[in-house]
Amino acid sequence: MSYTFEEFEKNLGYEFKDKSLLKLAFTHTTYVFEHHGKHFESNQRLEFVGDAVLDLVIGQKLYELKPHADEGYLSKTRSLIVCERSLASVARKLRVGELLMLGKGEAQSGGADKDSTLSDVVESFIAAVYFDAGFAEAERVILKNLSDIIDDAVNGKIFLDYKSRLLELAQSKSEQHKIVFEIVDERGPAHNKEFDAVVYADGQLLSKATGKSKKEAEQNCAKDAIDEYIKLFGNKN
C-alpha cells in the first residue's frame, strides 16, 4: 500500500485542519511549472517562513539548554541542527519523498531523495503547522521531530564535515592511524547514479555507505565510521 498524507500526519504528530496547507508544503516548483501554475502555488513561500520559525525555536531551545554558552557556540550549534543534511534526515524518517509532488524531469533525476529538496519540505510543513495552529504548536512539532538531532548536536555528535572529523581523530598527537576511503561500486543511469564507499583505518574496515555522489557516499561512510573508530582506538583528541 502507498504512503498517505494521513499516515504522514500521524508520524509527524499533528493533524492539519486546513489540508490545503499540507498539500502546498509538498508541492515543488517543477510540479507547478509543469502544470502551468504560478510560483506562489509551490512551497517556496512556506519554506521562507518555516526557516525563520525553525531558527527561533531551535535558538530558544539551545539558549535554555546551554545557559552559559556564548553566541558563537549557540549559532554554530543551531546551524548544525537546521542544516540541509539534518533536515533531510528528518524528512526521510517521515517518508516525505513518497508524497512529494514533482515535475516529471525532477522525479526521474532522483528529486524525491535530494537533501536540498527534502530539507525545503521540512521547512515548508513547519510553516504550514505554524499557519494552521500557531507558534506553540509549531514549536511542539519541531521539538518532537528534531529531538534526537538537538541532543546529538549539543553532545558534539554532529559535524558538517564528517570526513574531516574522522581524519582529525586519526591524526591526534598521541596516536596516528592511516584512513583510506574507496569507492567500491557505482550503479544506475547517468542522471541518477548511486555510489558505494568504504573506509578503512590501518587496513581495518570501519564502515560502508551509499550516496548519490562520491562525495556524499564518503561523507555518509565517515559519519558511520566515527563511532566505530572511537570504539577501536578511543578518542585521543
Query: Where is pLDDT greater, at 141 or 215?
Result: 141
Which grid cell sits at 149? Answer: 538531532
Measured CA to CA in angstroms, residue 217 lies from 14, 97, 186, 209, 224 at distances of: 33, 19, 10, 6, 11
pLDDT tens-digit readout, 19-44: 999 999 999 999 998 888 777 789 99
Q: Identify the CATH number of the domain defined by range 162-233.
A: 3.30.160.20
| Backbone dihedral region for residue 37 (phi beyond 0: left; psi -120 to 50: alpha; all else: beta) | beta
Residue 215 has pLDDT above 90, yes or no: no
**Binning pLDDT at 50, 70 and 90, where does residue 115 land?**
confident
Give the whole-angstrom CA distance, residue 138 versus residue 151: 19
* Structural domain boundaries in the chain: 5-154, 162-233
pLDDT of residue 40: 76
Beta carbons of 62 and 151 less than 8 angstroms apart: no
41, amino acid identity: E
| pTM of the shown model | 0.72
pLDDT tens-digit readout, 76-101: 899 889 988 899 999 999 999 999 99
Give the DSSP letter of residue 212. Answer: S
Give the whole-angstrom CA distance, residue 172 versus residue 236: 6
**Binning pLDDT at 50, 70 and 90, where does residue 110 land?**
confident
pLDDT of residue 154: 92
Which among 66, 64, 59, 54 is positioned nearest to 154, based on CA atoms?
Answer: 66
pLDDT tens-digit readout, 150-166: 999 998 877 768 888 88
Q: Cβ neighbours of residue 226 under 8 Å, at least 6 residues apart? A: 162, 165, 166, 169
Give the whole-angstrom CA distance, residue 215 versus residue 165: 15
- The beta-strand segments (E) located in 65-190 are 179-187
Burial level of 191, CB count in 10 A (0-12/13-18/19+)? exposed
**Binning pLDDT at 50, 70 and 90, where does residue 173 land?**
low
Q: Which CATH superfamily is domain 5-154 in?
A: Ribonuclease III domain (1.10.1520.10)
pLDDT of residue 94: 97
User: Which residues are identified as catalytic?
Assistant: 51, 123
